[in-house]
Amino acid sequence: MRAEREKRLRGALVQTLPAANRTYPEGRVCAADGCDTRISIYNRSTLCWNHEPARIRLPRGRRKRRDAA
């Protein structure tokens, strides 16, 4: 009996891979005048981090359920 238990295989179910990251053309350069910074293929912006306008993000707490509001 013990030998049979040791022969059992263990494993996990096969799962699909997550979607690949979106990429943009290679070799892009910042669109700001006089800036020659190369932009990552994963950056969707046409500007580098230094010339990208600042965005203010408001942290929000957990949303209340509709029936609790």
- Whether residue 56 is contained in a domain is answered as no
Asked if the structure places residue 28 within a domain, the reply is yes
Note whether residue 2 is domain-resident.
no
Determine, yes or no, domain membership for 58: no
Q: What is the DSSP string of 34-62?
A: T--PBPPTT--SSS-TTTSPP-------P
Domain that holds residue 30: 21-48
Domain count, the chain: 1
- Local confidence band at 1 (pLDDT 50, 70, 90 cut-offs): low
Q: Say if residues 4 and 11 touch (Cβ distance below 8 Å).
A: no
Q: Is residue 15 part of a domain?
A: no
Measuring CA to CA, which residue among 11, 49, 43 is closest to residue 24? Answer: 43
The predicted structure's pLDDT at residue 5 = 63
**Is 29 a domain residue?**
yes
5-57: per-residue pLDDT in tens? 667 777 888 888 899 999 999 999 999 999 999 999 999 999 999 999 998 88
Is the residue at 8 inside a domain? no
Q: Which pTM does this prediction carry?
A: 0.54
